Amino acid sequence: MAERYSTFQPHGTAWLLQRVTGAFLVLVLAFHFFLLHFVHHPADIEFAGTQARMSQVSYFATMWLFLVTATFHGVNGVYAALINQGLTGTRKRVVRWVLILAGAALIVQGTRTALVMAGV
Amino acid sequence: MSTQEQQPPETEEEAEAEQAVETEPGAPAETPGERRRRERAERRTAERAPSTDEVEGPTVHLKVYRYDPEVEGKAEPRFDDFYVPREEGMTVLDALMYARDHYDSSLTFRHSCRQGVCGSDALFVNGTQMLGCQTQISDLDDPVRIEPLPHQDVVKDLVVDMEHFYERMHAVEPYFDPDDEPPGEMEEYRQSRENREKIKMATRCIWCGACASSCTIAATDEQYLGPAAINAAYRFAMDEREGDDRMEERMGIVEQEHGVWRCQTQFSCTQVCPKDIPLTEHIQELKREAVKQNLKFW
Amino acid sequence: MSEAYDRGKIEDYGRWREFSAGMWAWVLHKFTGWVLIGYLFTHIPVLSTAGTGEYEATLQTLEAIALVRVAEVGLLAVAVFHILNGVRLLFVDLGVGLEAQDKSFYASLIVTGAITVASVPTFMQGVF
């Protein structure tokens, strides 16, 4: 059976991660929308309130995971959509790196913002 | 059966007139909607004219896609109208054969067994892929619009190039390759009833290509194996008698980037399959199987 | 692929009238997905004003614009559909209820519509 694994392909892992992050995002996105549109209205948001929420470790961790999983889910989804459209060769490699860098930049900036919000 | 054999000349002229309009250089392109309305208006006038009185009794109005790159006047695709006497139990294939035999012998389409087994006559009828021999005219709205399968090169009229489809079918190595033979020389290689049930639907594929034609991913991603090929892989992957080595090799093919992962569960293939094979279900099961194998590795 | 002759609308999405439930679900899931990733990439820069003192001002300026409020309702609809259809797709991936995939799509649509309509008062508070 060892031979079997020499053909190991990463595509199944990406597919699985897309599903796992999707399942997580279903809950967190619903929570996020509910909290910041129905409990707190966006027009009334003040930095103090944001800071109070973000200084809770569990809330901070949830929001940071939300950022990372949403970025992966979105960027990987865009990549899959482009492969479905028949993207191949050099253009495919370029698109992949552009998406990876954009995703990384978003996570870095999001993390910095989150740290500012938490008052660290 | 037939009283009048000739198709009304009006429609011939109409087709030629239409062609002239289409080939006119520099003419602004019509939107599909405008074109459809114009065609409908023209058809209505044509219909009131002799056509329906020439054939006694009710008729079926066929609008058939025509294209022949080898004949100058036919190199620009067009639709021809045929009025075929309606008969009880008539299929789309029957109507096409009547039109060919009585009106225009150059009308070209594939057919062989006429009973949904050979898979030759998958057509695009009123916007859906179906087998001509298996589709009752009475189930369709008039006029019946018959086109070659989308997303494949048209060779002539309703005949499409199936080469790419066959290539993908062969790519998954769709043949049985057990590790060890049964003991006795004349022994049957038996399969459990449950296992037979599991792969039963998958074995029904007739390679007609309707599924691949309906799939938008197969249309844009040329390397995607497509529903039929993945189903063929499923048929052997789920067969308990299949040998380990071949199984590994086949799973390796199926779980490539352009294998099962490209399926977007649109269910188009499942809906058009003339053999009612649950293609999406089979593709999904192979996805889960591939993930399971990889998780075991971790 | 069609080098010989481009058959125009039957080769692409021009035949949308013939789309079935599963196909519509895919089209909408993809569309809402693009909207959400686009939103995420603008959401983070807007929030980056946090701590500079412009945070409240930015949010309040945006929230005072009626069009932004309408767009937010749109965003809610998009998010709710993507969530509900995403759950449907998870079930499809698990091989559960494949024969009801069209009904579950229609259900996602109806629930999305209901939630969106019910949320309009909350979203429009104080702007009109």
* CATH number for the domain harbouring residue C78: 1.20.1300.10
Non-local CB neighbours of B84 within 8 Å, separated by 6+ positions = B55, B59, B60, B62, B95, B98, B99
The lowest-confidence range among B45-59, B116-130, B177-191 is B45-59
Number of domains comprising chain C: 1
Q: Which of A78, A76, A77, A74 is nearest to A29 (CA)?
A: A74
pLDDT confidence band for C91 (50 / 70 / 90): very high
Mutual angle of helices C66-93 and C21-47, in 10-degree steps: 130
Q: CB B287 to CB C17 under 8 A?
A: no
Return mean pLDDT, chain B. Answer: 85
**Tokens in use for B189?**
């290689």
Partner C, chain A 58-87, Cβ-Cβ below 8 Å = 67, 70-71, 74-75, 77-78, 81
Mutual angle of helices C66-93 and A11-33, in 10-degree steps: 140
**Tokens in use for B290?**
């591939």
CATH of domain B9-159: 3.10.20.30
Q: CB A42 to CB C126 under 8 A?
A: no
**Å from B270 to nearest chain C CA?**
10
Residues of chain B with CATH 3.10.20.30: 9-159
From residue C108, how far is each of A93, B183, B222, C122 by CA, in Å?
36, 56, 32, 22
Q: CB C36 to CB A74 under 8 A?
A: yes
High-pLDDT (> 90) share of chain B, %: 62
- pLDDT for B159 beyond 90: yes
From residue A15, how far is each of A22, A76, C91 by CA, in Å?
11, 9, 15
- What is d(CA B229, CA B171) in angstroms, rounded to the nearest whole number? 8
Q: What is the 3-class SS of C18-44, one letter each residue?
A: HCCHHHHHHHHHHHHHHHHHHHHHHHH
Cα of first residue to Cα of last residue in chain C, in angstroms, is 53
Domain that holds residue C26: 22-124
Judge whether C104 lies within some domain: yes
pLDDT digit string, tens, across residues A31-89 = 999 998 888 888 788 888 899 999 999 999 999 999 999 999 999 999 999 999 989 99
CB-closest option in C50, C63, C64 to A50: C50
Judge whether C11 lies within some domain: no
pLDDT digit string, tens, across residues B183-231 = 777 888 889 999 999 999 999 999 999 999 999 899 889 999 999 999 9
pLDDT confidence band for B80 (50 / 70 / 90): very high
Does the structural domain B163-297 have CATH classification 3.40.50.720? no
pLDDT confidence band for C6 (50 / 70 / 90): low
- pLDDT for B15 beyond 70: no
Q: What is the 3-class SS of chain B, one letter each residue?
A: CCCCCCCCHHHHHHHHHHHHHHHCCCCCCCCHHHHHHHHHHHHHHHHHHHHHHHCCCCEEEEEEEECCCCCHHHCCCEEEEEEEECCCCCEHHHHHHHHHHHCCCCCCCCCCCCCCCCCCCEEEECCEEEEHHHCEHHHCCCCEEEECCCCCCEEECCEECCHHHHHHHHHCCCCCCCCCCCCCCCCCCCCCHHHHHHHHHHHHCCCCCHHHHHCHHHHHCCCCCCHHHHHHHHHHHCCCCCCHHHHHHHHHHHCCCCCHHHCCCCCHHHHHCCCCCCHHHHHHHHHHHHHHHHHHHC
Judge whether C42 lies within some domain: yes
Which one is predicted more confidently, A115 or B190? A115
High-pLDDT (> 70) share of chain B, %: 84
Most confident range (mean pLDDT) of B8-17, B254-263, C54-63 is B254-263
- What is d(CA C4, CA C22) in angstroms, rounded to the nearest whole number? 31
The three-point CA angle B185-B191-B195 to 5° equals 165
Non-local CB neighbours of B31 within 8 Å, separated by 6+ positions = none
Q: Is the pTM of this model over 0.95?
A: no
- What is d(CA B78, CA B91) in angstroms, rounded to the nearest whole number? 23
Residues of chain B with CATH 1.10.1060.10: 163-297
pLDDT confidence band for C59 (50 / 70 / 90): confident
The lowest-confidence range among B143-147, B181-185, B260-264, C98-102 is B181-185
Question: What confidence score (pLDDT) does residue B21 get?
Answer: 43
**Tokens in use for B279?**
């293609």
Q: CB C95 to CB B152 under 8 A?
A: no
Q: What is the mean pLDDT of residues B253-276?
A: 94
**Å from C51 to nearest chain A CA?**
6
- What is d(CA A33, CA A29) in angstroms, rounded to the nearest whole number? 6
- pLDDT for A4 beyond 80: no
Partner B, chain A 35-64, Cβ-Cβ below 8 Å = none
- What is d(CA B66, CA B64) in angstroms, rounded to the nearest whole number? 6
- pLDDT for A5 beyond 80: no
Judge whether C13 lies within some domain: no
CB-closest option in B256, B257, B297 to A5: B297
- Whether residue A1 lies within 8 A of chain B, CB to CB, comes out as yes
